[in-house]
Every structure is written in structure tokens, then in C-alpha cells.
Amino acid sequence: MKKTNGVAAAVAAVALFASSAVGQTPSACSTVLVPTYSPPSVAPGWTAQLAVAGLTTPRSLLWDGAGGLLVVERTKGITRHTFTDYGGTCLIPDKTTLLVNNTRLNHGLALSADGKTLYASTVEAVFAWEYNERAGTVSDTPRTVVNNMTNNDIVTRTLLVSKKQPGMLLVSRGSSADENIVKAETVTNGLSQIRAFDLTRLTATSDPYDFSSSGDILGWGLRNSVGVGEHPVTGGIYAVENSIDGVTRNKQDIHETNPGEELNYLGFLNGTTKFPGPNFGYPRCFAVWNATEIPQNDGLNIGDQFAIDEDTLTDEVCAANFTAPRLTMPAHWAPLDIKFNADGSAAYISFHGSFDSTNPVGYRLSSVAFNPTTGDPVAAPDSAHDALTDILTNPASSVCPGACFRPAGLAFDNQGRIWMTSDSTGEIYVLEKSTSTPTSSASGTIVTTTGTPSSGAAGSGMLASWGQRVMGLTVAGVVGGVLAFY
Ligand SMILES: *[C@@H]1O[C@H](CO)[C@@H](O)[C@H](O)[C@H]1NC(C)=O
Ligand SMILES: *[C@@H]1O[C@H](CO)[C@@H](O)[C@H](O)[C@H]1NC(C)=O
Ligand SMILES: *[C@@H]1O[C@H](CO)[C@@H](O)[C@H](O)[C@H]1NC(C)=O
Ligand SMILES: *[C@@H]1O[C@H](CO)[C@@H](O)[C@H](O)[C@H]1NC(C)=O
Ligand SMILES: *[C@@H]1O[C@H](CO)[C@@H](O)[C@H](O)[C@H]1NC(C)=O
């Protein structure tokens, strides 16, 4: 009896898939949102589409197990979004609810492995709510699980719940701008570090973990590691570091193309790595991106740790005492999230882009190839640009940050599609990689029209030839208020 039902259900599912697959070409999407700025450029083999707009500074996002997309909207709280999925990148928003009304939540978001506890953070604390994904509701009053994190300057507290080591919650806390504190940065003051807390040890009556005096210190000397990711095969923890602005060397300005942003390796949570983990240098030593710009650069290459003032600290001490990045990335690109694909062969990194560069840089989604078995990046530690592959870029960075998307949070859905927030524009993009290798180097597709593209345009990436753009007007009425923009 049970078996018969199962087979019937499987047949029905196949039939459903087959019928929806017919309509899966991007051109079949009947309601399409279009950005107000030049649409993004897409890598060969990828299709991208704007899925949600009109949000309030959306940062981290994740999928629950019941088809709800949870998003931290800064100065608002956590919203939950459901969609009708027409396949490919065509998903039309159905319903949006304000799950948590808390204007101080500013970035961090995570779900427990069983999906029943939701975590989010303010500058001061990590809160936990009981979460019912079927009903799309949370318990009224959250419990505080980590606290005492307030400091100025870096105020986001990125959260990661380990999938490999159940119950471990990682929290990234950046630096303070208070100069005396910066100078005295120590492992015990709880600044500029990523810690892991064992939530299984909290009893019903325990106090929250005090960030600076509890947990395991995975790494320190980290100015602002906004993105934290776990390799799905090995459980290796990686973090992306936003390095300093306005750096000098022996009093000479070298900030234009230095220091590099960092991809740092922080070890395993399973007991093999001994904590406290390494110091990555901040605020004493930084990673070289462009050695040519650095005076007295003898022996310095990409990724090497260098000193700001060689009279007080030498490059040799920097190299000996502090840990260099596993990969170094271009200066000022501002990596905000890192998420691995399911088989561990790639990490996707969102680059928010520079905010005050004379030549604006960054503003893209890129990937880094990983060896899925060893969990290491494929590229050598001294690799330059070629360690990164562009997936979604703005056609011209010169008009950024004003007229561009600015990537923040990333999340995979259960079909392997990538969801990406753009905080400055209040948007969420969805991207899908074709299962076949692209046969040419022609660019991918950004879906900005409904109906069938004019002949010859498909696959060429020539958006302009797709005819008149359909603004978000056709979706009016689909979701009251949520898509009210343009
Ligand atoms: C959120 O809470 C604030 C007060 O804390 C209240 O003024 C506001 O109406 C609430 N918003 C919603 C949508 O419930
Ligand atoms: C909070 O953290 C600071 C260090 O950042 C520490 O000195 C203090 O004892 C901690 N606890 C409380 C209750 O303030
Ligand atoms: C921890 O994980 C790593 C990578 O999978 C593995 O090599 C190591 O043996 C594990 N250690 C323990 C104690 O299980
Ligand atoms: C490196 O710095 C030099 C000197 O400032 C500059 O001319 C060059 O364009 C920079 N190279 C890159 C790749 O940014
Ligand atoms: C570097 O390491 C040496 C040897 O452990 C130690 O004496 C020195 O104080 C360290 N310097 C810095 C700047 O951390």
C-alpha cells in the first residue's frame, strides 16, 4: 500500500517536472523585474534574473526547509518570502511576511541543522528563536545565546551554524576604531576574531556566552571577516577578510592597490585543529596585493605579510609571527560572503565593492575553484586575479557604487541555484548554472524581457536587441506592496 503510493507520487513528480521543464527557457518568464541601472553581465553558462526588489538593505539570506527565503533587512528585521517556481531563474514572489520585527538586526542569520532554531545578531548579541518553517513563525521572545559584543566601527556579527560539527555556532566580530584598543589588540579582548560556541552545552537556565571570555578562538588579528564558510566535504572553515583602508608604508601612501583582501583558512571544528587558532596580522601586518606600489619591497610577493613601518616592525617578523592568507584578492573589493557549492568544488564570494576609491572596484559575484576532496583552493597562495572567476559583474565599475548592484549575502537553494542580495539597491538576484559546459565564450544570459527574444539574440548576451524592456509594472498586484518600486 505504502509502496504503491510512493510509486504513484514518484510518477506524478516526474510528470510535473516534465511539464514544467517545457516552460523552463528564461524567455518564458511572464513577469520579469528589471534593474533601474545597467543590467549585470553574466558569465558563460550562467543565467541570472532579478527575483525580488523593494527591500530595505537586504544582507544575509537563507532558505528554510519549507520553501521560505529568510532575509535580514537592516533597520527592519527578518522577512520571509515564498515564490511560485516556474523553473530556471523564473520565480515569482507569492507572499512576504515580517518574521521578526527588530530594527537592530543588521547582518547575521543562521538556522540550526534541524531547521527549528533561527539565529540572528545585533552588534551586541546573538538571539535564538524557535522557528516553525511550516507555519513560517517564530517564538515571541528570543533567547540570548551570545552577548557582550558591542564596539564601534565594525558592527556586523556574521553567524555560521556548522553542518559538520552539530551545535557549533561561529560568530565573527571585527575591530574597534578606538585607537588605544587597536594598539592593545590582544586575544583576550574579544575583538577582531572569529569564535565558535557549543550550543549543545547551553542548558535551559544557562547565561549567554560572553563573547570575549568563552568559546574557541578560531582565528584572530582579523579586522573584519564578514564572510565565513564551511567546506561541505572536509569541514574546513574559511573566512573572507576586509582589510584596511588608507594604508601607508614607511609613511608613504600605498592604499590605491594595497593591502589585498584575504581568503583565510581557520582549520577544522572536529578536534583536529587546536585553538586558539592563528593570528592573521591585524592591526600590525597586512597582505601584499601590489608589491610595485610598496617602497622597499625586496622579497615581497602577493600574499606576503608586510609591515606598515619598518622602523618598528620588520616584514620578517610579520612573516614569522603572523599567518598569511590562503589566497589574496584585490584591494578594496570588500568580500562579504563565502558559500560553497554542494560538492565542494567551488566557493562563491560576493564582493560589495569599494565605497570611496577614486577608481571604483569590486562589485561582483566571483567563484574560486576548490579541490573537493582536500578542501583546498586549487590556485597557489601567491596567485593574482586569475584565482577568481567572474560570475556576475556590473558592465562598468566607473558608475559604481551609485548605479550598480552591490553584492552582500549569498545562499544556495535545494536545486543548486544561487541567491544573492544587493543591499544598496534593495534587491535579490537568482543565478543558475547550466548543467552542460558552454560551447562558446559568449556571455551568459540576464533575463530582462518577457516573451521570446528576437532571433539571434539568445545566448549572445546582447540585451539591447531583446527589444523593449518590461519594467516591474506587470507584477503589480502579485504581492501587495512588496514589489512596489520604480
Ligand atoms: C515593529 O515594532 C515597532 C515597535 O517596536 C512598531 O512601532 C512597528 O509598528 C512594528 N512594525 C510592524 C510591521 O509590526
Ligand atoms: C565584556 O567584554 C569585555 C572585553 O571586551 C570584558 O572586559 C568584560 O568583562 C565583559 N563582560 C561584561 C559583563 O562586561
Ligand atoms: C577532522 O576532519 C579532517 C578533514 O575531514 C580529518 O582529516 C580529520 O581526521 C578529522 N579529525 C577527527 C578527530 O575526526
Ligand atoms: C601597482 O602599483 C603600480 C605603482 O603604483 C601601478 O602603476 C600599477 O598600475 C599597479 N598595478 C596594479 C595591477 O594595480
Ligand atoms: C614575534 O615572535 C617573537 C618570538 O615568539 C616574539 O618575541 C615577538 O614579541 C613577536 N612580535 C610580535 C610583534 O608579535
Cα–Cα–Cα angle for 305, 308, 313, rounded to 5 degrees:
80
For atom 14 of ligand 2, the residue with the nearest CA is: 148
Instruction: List 108's β-bridge partners, or say none.
Output: none
Ligand 4 contacts CB of residue 79 (under 6 A)? no
CA atoms within 13 A on the CB side of 74: 20
CB 459 within 8 A of CB 445: yes
Please tell me the predicted confidence (pLDDT) of residue 179: 66
**pLDDT tens string for the chain (486 positions)?**
333 333 333 333 333 333 333 344 444 688 899 999 999 999 999 999 999 999 999 999 999 999 999 999 999 999 999 999 999 999 999 999 999 999 999 999 999 999 999 999 999 999 999 999 999 999 999 999 999 999 999 999 999 999 999 999 999 999 998 866 666 668 888 999 999 999 999 999 999 999 999 999 999 999 999 999 999 999 999 999 999 999 999 999 999 999 999 999 999 999 999 999 999 999 999 999 999 999 999 999 999 999 999 999 999 999 999 999 999 999 999 999 999 999 999 999 999 999 877 899 999 999 999 999 999 999 999 999 999 999 999 999 999 999 999 999 999 999 999 999 999 999 999 999 998 877 777 899 999 988 543 333 333 332 222 222 222 222 222 222 222 211
> Nine-digit cell at 196?
565558535
Ligand 3 contacts CB of residue 232 (under 6 A)? no
Q: pTM score > 0.85 for this model?
A: yes
Ligand nearest to the CA of 331: 4
Please tell me the predicted confidence (pLDDT) of residue 11: 35
Out of 123, 144, 148, mutate this one to test ligand 2's pocket (max ligand atoms within 8 Å of CB): namely: 148
Looking up cell 579582548, which residue turns up? 189
Please tell me the predicted confidence (pLDDT) of residue 183: 63
Whole-number Å distance, alpha carbon 101 to ligand 1 midpoint, is 6
3-class state of residue 413 by DSSP: coil
Ligand nearest to the CA of 312: 5
Ligand 4 contacts CB of residue 257 (under 6 A)? yes
Please tell me the predicted confidence (pLDDT) of residue 239: 98
Nearest Cα neighbor of 260 from 271, 249, 247 is 247
Instruction: List 14's β-bridge partners, or say none.
Output: none
Q: Please give the C-alpha separations between residue 216 and each of 169, 173, 269, in angstroms, as whole numbers.
A: 10, 13, 9
List phi, psi (to 5°) of 191. Answer: -95, 155
| Pairwise CA distance, residues 363 & 354, whole Å | 8
Please tell me the predicted confidence (pLDDT) of residue 441: 77
Burial profile 148-180: b = 16 or more Cβ within 10 angstroms, e = fewer: ebebeebbbbbbbbbebbeebbbbbbbbbeeee
| Pairwise CA distance, residues 106 & 127, whole Å | 12
| Pairwise CA distance, residues 205 & 264, whole Å | 36
Instruction: List 431's β-bridge partners, or say none.
Output: 48, 418
List phi, psi (to 5°) of 122. Answer: -110, 180
Which residues form ligand 1's pocket by a CB distance below 6 Å? 98, 101
Which residues form ligand 5's pocket by a CB distance below 6 Å? 284, 313, 317, 321
CB 90 within 8 A of CB 76: no
Measured from the Cβ of residue 291, the count of other Cβ atoms closer than 10 Å reads 17
Please tell me the predicted confidence (pLDDT) of residue 209: 98
Instruction: List 327's β-bridge partners, or say none.
Output: 263
